[in-house]
Amino acid sequence: MRQWKEEDPQRRVVGYFPVFAPRELIEGAGAFPLGLHGGGQQVELMFADSRMQSFVCSISRTTLELGLIGNLDLLDAMFFTNICDVARNLSGVWCRNFPQQQTIFLHLPMHPPGETTLRYLVKEFGRAHRTIATIAGNGHGTEPLHVAIAAGNRNRLLQAQLEQTHRSEPWNLSLPALYLLRRMGSQMTLAQHNQLLADALGRLQHSTVRPRDGIRVIVEGAFCEQPPLELLELLEESGCYVVGDDLARGLRPESAPIELAQGGDPLEALARWYTFASGTQSVRHAPPQQREDYLFGQIEAASAQGVIFLNAKFCEPALYDYVVFKNALERQGKIPFMTLEFEEKQSTFENLRMQVETFVESILFT
Amino acid sequence: MQTTFQHQGAGLRLQKEMMTAWYARQEQAVQTKLPIAYVFIGGSPNELLRNFGYELAFPEINALQCGIKKAAGPNIIRAEDFGYSSDVCGYVKNDIGLMLNDYQSPQGRLAKPDFLVCNASGCATYLKWWEALAQHFAVPLFVLDVPYVQGDEIPAEEIEYVEAQIHELIELLERQTGQALDMARLKTDLAYAAQTEERWSQLLDLATHHPSPFDSYFEAVFFMANINIFRGTKEAVTYYDEVLKELKERIDHGVGPIPQEKVRVVVEGPPPWPHFRSFWELFKPWGVVCVASTYSKVGGLWDQGFRHDPSRPIRSMAEGMLHAYCNWSLPKRQALIRSYIDHFDADALVIHSVKSCRSFSVGQADLREYFHHEAKVPTLFVESDLADPRYFSHAQLRNRIDAFFESLEHRKLARGGAGGGP
Ligand code: SF4
Ligand code: SF4
């Protein structure tokens, strides 16, 4: 990425913190959107610990650490949204520690979808677009936005197709493979990602891995901080087919396309899509019934036999929604569930493996 | 100079009367058919809800009261048994614990909500909290979403967004109650609000005196209850008139909250309610007086000049909602604290970081970096919680507080100031 940027001094990179960042908006303003999902297991905290208390989620600390050790100095701007108070306040910490980068904070509306919300969001998106376009020296024309939205729509479609394949033949496309394909989207343009996804879909047509026994589960709760890959592998090794998930939620937008008519206003189309069609998320207000409907919808769509809650330690949005989900499942009394807590930098999994195996057995043998 | 005290305790007596009557109204709400609206403190639409006959209830204040009356622990544990993590906000868990116990509290039985207004200014957890209550009580929930204030200029669309939501709220209230908005009353109440805000700001500014006549943290957190709960009423104006008399009388007599003021501090962060008294006691032996605090601004930053304005009723309500302390970005919070240090002639900054409230605490360690290393303001950083009694480590806090003020005292002595710790 650094090299790519050095090849052309005009190139601009906008980093974004999960969960949701409108990649179309960043690309459409002429910058490269680089998704940051923390430091995983790679980063030792040397400086961030003195700036973030120990009761705060790991992703916020490792992301800050990456900045403080100079790993992110290629960024021209950093994009945050109001997913939670941690991310919101991290934007302020960013602002002070990295004054050479522009910190962009977008307040996504929490008021229920409607004209008030839409009108506001069109303007917020417009403001963010102008800011990034200015950084990118790109003028404020909307043509690149049209192109980015078309690429974004194709991305949604390809991801939906991949997920469909994964759901119907999870032995042919494992969860870690599906997840990595999704995560690659954070490191490339929408068009490049589309190419990668299309190639993967093509190759999958010839895949003939033999099915094995496994229970079908969905995984909920790891929409922002990401679990180590070993943990996802462990789920499958322990006898699960994870056929629905909310991992890296922002990189896997709802499949409904952004509807943009010829000559239409792309910012309005993007805002309309986010307001009305971007789905239920833990980091967005929803009436409790809607959250329950979302969970049962996921279970039904995946024909899941169980739910694994995979909550990032200290992640408040996940931990609050867990109560809603857990109580709904208990009331319904048909779908077993288990709860795991993880940290991105975790490196031992034996306990978790045992818990998952016990869960799988309890479903298989009752 | 006056030789006798005439006004001491008057504010407290009046506050007690007002609070007792308020809790009694809540307790009898079912019998008297008084509809109850739950709201949050920061930028709450008090005047609007009263206009439609609602009595206000503030679960944040219930949590605070449960904390201070040592009733929060069992509530929190009840909520954890229900599924809430030990890592989420103790205020929420206290309230869920109350809810699961039919709202039995040290204040008697608290009122249940008929209407939930989630004026979400400064905290994302508010949404989750009210969502849970809406589900439990199956009552209407209105989310009044307030954008986060980042720079000095608030974009017009953000104010318009809040304003549009207030109009939606009015329409909903009109449908719900079958009454039209009484604009004349709203303007009258907003005028009371402005007078209250003016007096409250005058009160806070009295801490510029040496010695300060009151503690702007340990005492101001009680003075602030009236502006948060009763703002928009004549009684709130009267209350602050009384407190102002009381504090001016203290100035006339040269007395303050402790026998001898030796160190003036600014405090950032909420108090540890379950251990409020013992926390204060840790500072008193060092002659510490807080001259400005950020916690007393969680309802609104009226000290920064903002006033409700009857000539622009809805617009000024929208603006007010944006200016709650926790809704200000960290750079703005940092600049505000910096200005407090200068304006109130403070010697040091105390940051009390609480686990429950990420809205307050994330970024505080970075504030410490700034104040300690860049602004060269001696800064004490201590941790506990505002609701959960389990996170208060008395011995550890005492060690840190003693070490900090001892070293500060040495520095003051070296510069020729007053000294004398415990
Ligand atoms: S992991 Fe959770 S708490 Fe942390 S930044 Fe992400 S959403 Fe916020
Ligand atoms: S996180 Fe802080 S502001 Fe939010 S409800 Fe809890 S104590 Fe209140």
Strands B108-109 and B104-105: antiparallel
Looking at the fold, whether B160 and B308 belong to one and the same domain comes out as: no
- Chain A residues within 8 A of B383 when measuring between CB atoms: 53
Sheet containing strand A215-220, edge to edge, reads A240-245, A215-220, A306-312, A337-342
Dist. CA B60 → ligand 2 center (Å): 8
For residue B408, the model assigns a pLDDT of 96
pLDDT value at B332 more than 80: yes
Place of tokens 């020729």: B416
Query: What mean pLDDT, rounded, does chain A reach?
Result: 94
CA dist B54 and B310 (Å) reads: 20
Topology classification of domain A145-253+286-364: Rossmann fold (3.40.50)
pLDDT in tens, A216-246: 999 999 999 999 999 999 999 999 999 999 9
Helix, coil or strand: residue B41: coil
For residue A40, the model assigns a pLDDT of 86
CA dist A116 and B160 (Å) reads: 9
CA dist B375 and B256 (Å) reads: 28
For residue B3, the model assigns a pLDDT of 64
Q: To test ligand 1's pocket by mutation, which of A309, A316, A322, A341 has the most ligand atoms within 8 angstroms of CB?
A: A316
B143/A112 touch (CB, cutoff 8 Å), yes or no: yes
Looking at the fold, whether B172 and B288 belong to one and the same domain comes out as: no
User: Could you give the number of structural domains in chain B?
Assistant: 2
Label residue B405 exposed, middle or buried (CB < 10 Å: 0-12, 13-18, 19+): buried
Q: Is A315 in the pocket of ligand 1 (CB under 6 A)?
A: yes
A365 part of contact set with chain B, CB < 8 Å: no
Looking at the fold, whether B113 and B220 belong to one and the same domain comes out as: no
CB within 6 Å of ligand 2 — which residues?
B 60, 89, 91-92, 123, 125-126, 326, 356-360
Check: CB of residue A226 under 8 Å from CB of residue A344: yes
Q: Of all residues in chain B, what percent carry a pLDDT higher than 90?
A: 92
Task: Please indicate whether residue A100 or residue A205 has the higher confidence score (pLDDT).
Answer: A100
Query: What mean pLDDT, rounded, does chain B reach?
Result: 95
Check: CB of residue B148 under 8 Å from CB of residue B327: yes
A112 part of contact set with chain B, CB < 8 Å: yes
The DSSP 8-state label assigned to residue B105 in this structure reads E
Looking at the fold, whether B306 and B370 belong to one and the same domain comes out as: yes
Tokens of B272: 């540890």
Check: CB of residue B30 under 8 Å from CB of residue B108: no
For residue B419, the model assigns a pLDDT of 45
- Chain A residues within 8 A of B120 when measuring between CB atoms: 110, 285
Q: Name residues whose C-beta falls within 8 Å of residue B335's C-beta, 6 or more positions apart in sequence.
A: none
B145/A56 touch (CB, cutoff 8 Å), yes or no: no
Check: CB of residue A31 under 8 Å from CB of residue A76: yes
Looking at the fold, whether B177 and B102 belong to one and the same domain comes out as: yes
Give the chain A residue nearest B369 (alpha carbons): A51
CB atoms within 10 A of CB A213: 8
* Domain finish residue from B118, B149, B183: B183
Dist. CA A204 → ligand 2 center (Å): 48
A50/B334 touch (CB, cutoff 8 Å), yes or no: no
Residue B330 lies in a domain: yes
Q: Chain A, 45-64: which have a CB under 8 Å from a chain B CB?
A: 50-53, 55-56, 60
Looking at the fold, whether B167 and B190 belong to one and the same domain comes out as: no
Label residue A46 exposed, middle or buried (CB < 10 Å: 0-12, 13-18, 19+): exposed
Q: Is A317 in the pocket of ligand 1 (CB under 6 A)?
A: yes
Which residues, in sequence order, are bridge partners of residue A178?
A: none
Q: Treating both helix axes as pointing N-terminal to C-terminal, what angle do A190-204 and A143-168 enclose, rounded to 10 degrees?
A: 30
Looking at the fold, whether B202 and B153 belong to one and the same domain comes out as: no
Looking at the fold, whether B211 and B335 belong to one and the same domain comes out as: yes
pLDDT value at B420 more than 50: no
Place of tokens 């006798």: B4
One-letter-per-residue 3-state SS of chain A: CHHHHHHCCCCCEEEECCCCCCHHHHHHCCCEEEECCCCCCCCCCCCHHHCCCCCCCHHHHHHHHHHHCCCCCCCCEEEEECCCHHHHHHHHHHHHHCCCCEEEEECCCCCCCCHHHHHHHHHHHHHHHHHHHHHHCCCCCCHHHHHHHHHHHHHHHHHHHHHHHHHHCCCCCCHHHHHHHHHHHHHCCHHHHHHHHHHHHHHHCCCCCCCCCCEEEEEECCCCCCCCHHHHHHHHHCCEEEEEECCCHHHCCCCCCCCCCCCCCHHHHHHHHHHHHCCCCCCCCCCHHHHHHHHHHHHHHCCCCEEEEEEECCCHHHHHHHHHHHHHHHHHCCCCEEEEEECCCCCCCHHHHHHHHHHHHHHHCC
Give the chain A residue nearest B357 (alpha carbons): A85
- Chain B residues within 8 A of A84 when measuring between CB atoms: 124, 358
CB pairs under 8 A between A and B: 152
A68 part of contact set with chain B, CB < 8 Å: no
Residue B250 lies in a domain: yes
From A342's Cα to the closest Cα of chain B, the distance in A is 13
What's the number of CA atoms in the CB half-sphere (13 Å) around residue A188? Answer: 16
For residue B400, the model assigns a pLDDT of 98
Structural domain span for residue B54: 10-183
For residue B7, the model assigns a pLDDT of 85
Residue B212 lies in a domain: yes
Cα dihedral: A170, A175, A178, A181 (round 10): -160
B104 part of contact set with chain A, CB < 8 Å: no
CA dist B403 and B422 (Å) reads: 12
Tokens of A86: 């941690």
From A119's Cα to the closest Cα of chain B, the distance in A is 8
Which has the minimum average pLDDT: A105-119, A177-191, A203-217, B198-212?
A: A203-217
Give the chain A residue nearest B330 (alpha carbons): A92
Please report which confidence band the pLDDT of residue B422 belongs to, taking 50, 70 and 90 as the band edges. Answer: low
pLDDT in tens, B33-78: 999 999 999 999 999 999 999 999 999 999 999 999 999 999 999 9
For residue A1, the model assigns a pLDDT of 80
CA dist A264 and A124 (Å) reads: 18
Looking at the fold, whether B64 and B107 belong to one and the same domain comes out as: yes
A289 part of contact set with chain B, CB < 8 Å: yes
Check: CB of residue B42 under 8 Å from CB of residue B327: yes
Q: Which of B78, B118, B153, B161 should one mutate to test binding to chain A, selecting the residue with the greatest count of A CBs within 10 A?
A: B161
Q: Which atom of ligand 1 is nearest to the CA of A282?
A: 7
pLDDT in tens, A88-122: 999 999 999 999 999 999 999 999 999 999 999 99
Residue B422 lies in a domain: no
Looking at the fold, whether B65 and B178 belong to one and the same domain comes out as: yes
* Domain finish residue from B124, B158, B183: B183
B168 part of contact set with chain A, CB < 8 Å: yes
What's the number of CA atoms in the CB half-sphere (13 Å) around residue A263? Answer: 0
Among A85, A93, A326, whose Cβ lies nearest the Cβ of B366?
A93
Looking at domain A7-138, its CATH class is: alpha beta
Q: Which of B123, B131, B338 should one mutate to test binding to chain A, selecting the residue with the greatest count of A CBs within 10 A?
A: B131
Check: CB of residue B325 under 8 Å from CB of residue B298: yes
A6-24 average pLDDT score: 92
Backbone region of residue B29 per phi and psi (left: phi > 0; alpha: psi in -120 to 50; beta: other values): alpha
Label residue B177 exposed, middle or buried (CB < 10 Å: 0-12, 13-18, 19+): middle
B420 part of contact set with chain A, CB < 8 Å: no
Check: CB of residue A132 under 8 Å from CB of residue A75: no
CB atoms within 10 A of CB B165: 25
Q: Which atom of ligand 1 is nearest to the CA of A60?
A: 5
Q: Of all residues in chain A, what percent carry a pLDDT higher than 70?
A: 100
B296-318 average pLDDT score: 97
pLDDT in tens, A292-336: 999 999 999 999 999 999 999 999 999 999 999 999 999 999 999
pLDDT in tens, B150-181: 988 999 999 999 999 999 999 999 999 999 99
- Measured at the CA of A360, the angle between CA A356 and CA A364, to 5 degrees, comes to 170
- Chain A residues within 8 A of B355 when measuring between CB atoms: 53, 55
Place of tokens 């039209």: B180
Residue B355 lies in a domain: yes
What's the number of CA atoms in the CB half-sphere (13 Å) around residue A127? Answer: 16
A320 part of contact set with chain B, CB < 8 Å: yes
The DSSP 8-state label assigned to residue B328 in this structure reads B
Looking at the fold, whether B408 and B304 belong to one and the same domain comes out as: yes
Residue B298 lies in a domain: yes
Q: Chain B, 371-390: which have a CB under 8 Å from a chain A CB?
A: 383
Which has the minimum average pLDDT: A207-221, B205-219, B373-387?
A: A207-221
CA dist B18 and B32 (Å) reads: 18
Helix, coil or strand: residue B55: strand
For residue A262, the model assigns a pLDDT of 84
pLDDT in tens, B107-140: 888 999 999 999 999 999 999 999 999 999 999 9
Residue B1 lies in a domain: no
* Domain finish residue from B136, B154, B183: B183
A38 part of contact set with chain B, CB < 8 Å: no
The ligand minimizing its distance to the Cα of A84 is 1
Name the residue with the closest Cα to ligand 2, atom 7.
B357
Rg (CA), chain A: 20
Among B92, B147, B362, whose Cβ lies nearest the Cβ of A56?
B362
**Whole-model pTM over 0.90:** yes
Q: Name residues whose C-beta falls within 8 Å of residue B201's C-beta, 6 or more positions apart in sequence.
A: B302, B303, B305
Looking at the fold, whether B162 and B207 belong to one and the same domain comes out as: no
Residue B3 lies in a domain: no
> ipTM score here?
0.96
Q: Chain A, 115-134: which have a CB under 8 Å from a chain B CB?
A: 116, 119-120, 123-124, 127
B157/A120 touch (CB, cutoff 8 Å), yes or no: yes
Among B85, B157, B333, whose Cβ lies nearest the Cβ of A123?
B157
Sheet containing strand A77-81, edge to edge, reads A32-35, A13-16, A77-81, A102-106
From B258's Cα to the closest Cα of chain A, the distance in A is 32
pLDDT value at B182 more than 60: yes
